[in-house]
Amino acid sequence: MTIRTLMSTAAALTALAGPALADINIGASISETGPAAFLGDPEAKTLRMEVEKINAEGGIIGEPINLIMYDDGGDPNKARTFATRLVEDDEVVAVIGGTTTGTTMAMVPVYEDAEIPFISLAGAVEIIEPVKEFVFKTPHTDRMACEKIFEDMAARGFSRIGMISGSDGFGKSMQAQCKDVAEASGVEIVADEVYGPQDADMTPQLTNIKGSGAEAILNSGMGQGPAVVTRNHTQLAIDAPLYQSHGVASKQFIELAGSEAAEGVRLPAAALLVADQLAEDDPQKPVVVGYRDGYESETGEDVSTFGGHAYDALYILKAAIESAGSTEPAAIRDAIEATSGFVGTAGEVNFSGDDHLGLTLDAFEMLEIKDGNWTIVE
Amino acid sequence: MRLSPRATTLLVLAVLIALSPLMFPSNFYYRVGSLIFMNGLAVTGMVILIGYAGQISLGHAGFSGIGAYSCAIMPVQWGIHPLLAPLLGAAISALLAWLVGRPILRLKGYYLAVATLGFGILVYMVLMNEAALTGGPDGITVADSGLPDLAEAAGLDLSNSQFWYWMSGLVLLAGAWLALNLYDSPTGRALRALHGSEVAARTVGVDVARYKLQAFVISAVYASVAGSLLALQNKFITPDVAGYMHSIELVTMTVLGGAHSVLGAVFGAAILTMLPQVLTVFAEYEHLLLGLIMMLVMIFLRDGLLPSLMRLIRGKSE
Amino acid sequence: MPELLQFLFSGLTVGAVYALVALGFTIIYNASDVVNFAQGEFVMLGGMITVFAHAAGLPLLLAAGIAIAATAVIGVALNKLAIEPARGAPVVSLIIITIGASIFLRGVASLVFDKQIHRFPAFSGDAPFRIGGATILPQSLWVIAGGVAVFIALWLFFTRTLTGKAVLATSNNRLAAQLVGINTNWVMTLSFALSAAIGALAGVLATPITNTSYDVGIALALKGFAAAMLGGMGNPKGALVGGILLGILEALTAGYLSSQYKDAAAFIVILLVLFIMPQGLFGARQTERV
């Protein structure tokens, strides 16, 4: 009885907020709260803002988008339930989301079974390797970030590397990938330390790395950890230069670390962070400048690459529905896979049957922080 | 005819499990139902620990984690049959509960709370850190149990959600039946005696330590089986299943619904499992409302929601 | 030995934060036998209110003062609205009420403020002091000094003042305390105000080191709770020693054993201590009244 009452209340409420029949139902399960909230928050804001914009401009193939977005709080089990709900109850034709690798992987079986195209916003390689028919993703993989960083280190003549990684999913996954590609990239990992995502002081780990004789240090992590590592790196006056990962995704990092401590830190990042510094003829320039200006004026917050991933996913989907001329999930999937030359915030995307990421290393810029601002390393 | 409380509880549960699907518009409701039963099973174990024996644990999700990861690791790494894995997981949980429980259960109140909390966090950290075995924080895929296929071969055409709805419903019924039998057994009486006053129970010759340990071990097995079911249904699992928040959730469900009865606790599990689904329209306020509900129920309906509701209904009819 | 010294400095910095949280637990526990799991949210509120008041143009000191005062008011409200009405409820209900309060406060903070990570500048700059080859930040000294100052103040309060003794009397036997003329309601109000203010102070002092966001409270409450139990609940000395011990343990484990398992090491030690000393290091032995 109670189950029924509550459930039908839920159904009624959903129906109230629900669509007219002809709308294009696009689902999303994003971690707006929980430990991944600072990724999920800009993603959700981006989706709301851009869907509104697309609808104001007449929607996709003449139909407005009805965005059905749930907050999974970063809990994979909850994400899985929302995935079932999106497919079974909301009858969506495509889904964006999975802020974290955990929530993404929990949802994958549902969309594969239901044959609904799914564009993930999470980082790890395992999402698209091996290729799953209905699963795509927009962010660069952590493996690519490792390669980009090691390439730069090798070019500067560093071969002995110290690693310090966050113990969350992002940090651990990148730590594993970097160790995997280190040898092929010509660097040796001589120290390998870990910290908790909310730790306040990493000087013990950095002291050990300093003692190991590392010539450069790589911090794979996101959130507040990289800021603390950067400050501690300066506090201990370590000579080995510090590299951050693509998990450092907005201007906020420089504010948290302090521009003095952040001076000279390098990191691979999408062009979005250095929109103004791109050459005028760079095809990415209008895209990233447009998105950044829109986001910053709408929210009053610094733009982040995480929001950019959501932007890319939505517009890849829009382009696919337009080229398919249909809202059938199978047709949309085929059109997504046929995406080529799509210019987004992360770079140029070219999907194919055996590549559901579609980005190359060129999509990363190597940045260095100078005087509290990003500069592109030539 | 007057039914015993035990028969009433089982009958109510069975009817709810059997008839609810008549009102389900889609598969999604089976999914939520199956989660309610899995949480309900773990919470039934908590009734034995909290409601019968009067002990507290802020670490029982650790046992759910062991049950879940047994299903993920054993078949792939050690070639153990997927259906044997939940049983082995339960055995490991029981053994661990027995080993840890002996020293831990000498503690009382908040000291017991922090010790169980520490235990849960240790399990969680092992699952997070031993990535080679557990897949680390990003989780691990669970091999198919073959059970839904078996059902299909037997002529039952069920979706994944439907299959696990019935499966977990049956396991919950069995779990409730065992817990209710325990209540009326000598062990149950001993547990309730020590809940009232440990000193008094000891004076009349109850082996307090032994019975507390029994309750701890039994509740660990319930949590472990619930974790296994979840892993088998989701086919993917992350360390969150063993996390501190999940432990808190289990205790909250138990106490919110009514820790002294199986039906009450399952009711609590149902409410808390459905809440995020009902509140999606107010997603921003979800946490605020959840916190508010927890406070209000514990302040104004101290025995839990169900007993208070029952009293209200009875009060009106009399 | 500069490594060891650096590990100790790190442990002291982190431990002093834990100690401040644990000290906050102590006061409320002493007055009411309640372990307030929302203590971490007081720390969060202290940090977040300061951040937003400072960003709104107020000088840092004024912003911090406002944050501490506002948090104290929230603490009193928590007592009046949630703890007082539940008097006499069992431990497990109280745990759920205070956890409910912490989830509620976190939800409110995410709406009123935002979900981003924030920081404000350190009080005395970021140039570290170098001692024996190791370094410590001036802000760490602020946190450590804050922890010690609060400890001394509390110790004097509980042993030298009539009000402090009234708090202890209330904890021991509420009815008896009322009979000898102690206004126990006022004692409770005072305890929650003090406790919340100390939490907020911890947030103000630590934010330049730890950063802050709407959800930093959970981890801090867990560590602070563990520290308080390690030292022995209800004893300011236990809170201070427990907090600093926990911090140093983590730093030494990260430095010498494995940074992966530093949190695990802390909890293993807590379990072992409780097995040997079920009341923590400095806790009073209690006998069950029949």
Query: What's A100's DSSP letter?
Result: S
- Cβ atoms of A119 and A313 within 8 Å: the answer is yes
Task: Tell me the CA distances in angstroms from A213 to A210, A221, C130, one per residue in order.
Answer: 6, 22, 21
Question: Is there a single domain that holds both residue A242 and residue A262?
Answer: yes
Q: Which residue has the tokens 């809940």?
A: B195
CA distance A134 to A118: 6
Tens of pLDDT, residue by residue over B80-118, are: 888 899 999 999 999 999 999 988 998 888 889 889 999
Q: What is the pLDDT of residue C288?
A: 45
Dihedrals phi, psi of A347, to nearest 5 degrees: 140, -165
Question: Is there a single domain that holds both residue A259 and residue A341?
Answer: no
B19 part of a folded domain: no
In what helix (H) or strand (E) does residue A242 lie, and over which residues does it extend? strand A242-244
CA distance A172 to B137: 7
For residue C69, how many C-alpha atoms fall within 13 Å in the half-sphere facing its CB? 7
Cβ C95–B58 below 8 Å, yes or no? yes
Question: Is there a single domain that holds both residue A181 and residue A222?
Answer: yes
Give C160-179 as a DSSP string: H-HHHHHHHHHHH-HHHHHH
CA distance B24 to A142: 42
CA distance B260 to C46: 39
Query: What's A268's DSSP letter?
Result: E
Residue in C closest to A45 by C-alpha: C115
Spatial CB neighbours of A329, under 8 Å, sequence gap ≥ 6:
A93, A94, A115, A116, A117
The CATH number given to whatever domain includes residue B60 is: 1.10.3470
> What distance, in Å, lies between the first and last C-alpha atoms of chain C?
54
Question: 3-class DSSP state for residue A200?
Answer: coil
B25 part of a folded domain: no
CA distance B26 to A114: 14
Question: Is there a single domain that holds both residue A264 and residue A209?
Answer: yes
Q: Which residue has the tokens 């959840």?
A: B290
- Cβ atoms of C21 and C39 within 8 Å: the answer is yes
A132 part of a folded domain: yes
B119 part of a folded domain: yes
A280 part of a folded domain: no
Residue among C267, C285, C286 with most chain B CBs within 10 A, to mutate: C267
Query: Would you tell me how many other CB atoms lie within 10 Å of the CB of residue A186?
Result: 12
SS3 content of chain B, % helix, strand, coil (to 5): 80, 0, 20
Task: Tell me the CA distances in angstroms from B97 to B66, C61, C258, one per residue in order.
Answer: 11, 51, 27
Question: 3-class DSSP state for residue A163?
Answer: strand
Higher pLDDT, C171 or B299: B299
B23 part of a folded domain: no
For residue A357, how many C-alpha atoms fall within 13 Å in the half-sphere facing its CB? 21
**Mean pLDDT throughout B257-284?**
88
Give A287-346 as a DSSP string: HHHHHHHHHHHHHSS--BHHHHHHHHHHHHHHHHHHHHTS--HHHHHHHHHT--SEE-SS
Look at strands A160-166 and A118-120 and give their pairing. unpaired
A22 part of a folded domain: yes
Q: What is the pLDDT of residue A16?
A: 46
**Mean pLDDT throughout C194-208?**
95
**What tokens does C13 get?**
């910095």
pLDDT class for C75, splitting at 50, 70, 90?
very high
Question: In this model, does residue B204 exceed pLDDT 50?
Answer: yes
pLDDT class for C290, splitting at 50, 70, 90?
very low
CB-nearest partner of B291 from C85, C103, C261: C103
The CATH number given to whatever domain includes residue A174 is: 3.40.50.2300
What residue type is assigned to position A123 of the chain? G
**Mean pLDDT throughout B222-227?**
97
Is A371 in CB contact (< 8 Å) with chain C?
A: no
Count of domains forming chain B: 1
Residue in B closest to C269 by C-alpha: B118
Residues of chain A under the 50 pLDDT cut: 1-2, 12-20
Question: In this model, does residue B276 exceed pLDDT 90?
Answer: no
Question: Is there a single domain that holds both residue A151 and residue A77?
Answer: no
- Cβ atoms of C37 and C104 within 8 Å: the answer is no
Q: What is the pLDDT of residue B145?
A: 80
Q: What is the pLDDT of residue B131?
A: 85
| A 224-283 → C contacts, CB under 8 A | 224, 227-228, 231, 234-237, 252, 255-256, 258, 260-261
CA distance A249 to A268: 10
Q: C-alpha angle with apex B28: B25 to B31, nearest 5 degrees?
A: 125
Cβ B280–A3 below 8 Å, yes or no? no
In terms of residue numbers, what domain contains B239?
Answer: 5-14+30-317
Question: In this model, does residue C289 exceed pLDDT 70?
Answer: no
In terms of residue numbers, what domain contains A318?
Answer: 2-140+289-361
Q: C-alpha angle with apex A221: C114 to A279, nearest 5 degrees?
A: 80
- CATH number attached to the domain at C2-276: 1.10.3470
Question: Is there a single domain that holds both residue A223 and residue A311?
Answer: no
Count of domains forming chain A: 2
Task: Tell me the CA distances in angstroms from A242 to A34, A231, A261, A306, one per residue in order.
Answer: 29, 11, 10, 22
Q: Which residue has the tokens 């139909």?
A: A63
- Interface residues of C toward B, Cβ cutoff 8 Å, are 35, 82, 85-86, 89, 91-97, 99-108, 110-111, 218, 222, 225-226, 229, 233, 260-261, 263-264, 267-268, 270-271, 274-275, 278-280, 288, 290
Q: Which residues of chain A neighbour C17 with C-beta distances below 8 Å?
A: 200
Question: 3-class DSSP state for residue B163?
Answer: helix
Tens of pLDDT, residue by residue over A47-81, are: 999 999 999 998 898 899 999 999 998 899 999 99
Tens of pLDDT, residue by residue over B236-252, are: 999 999 998 899 999 99
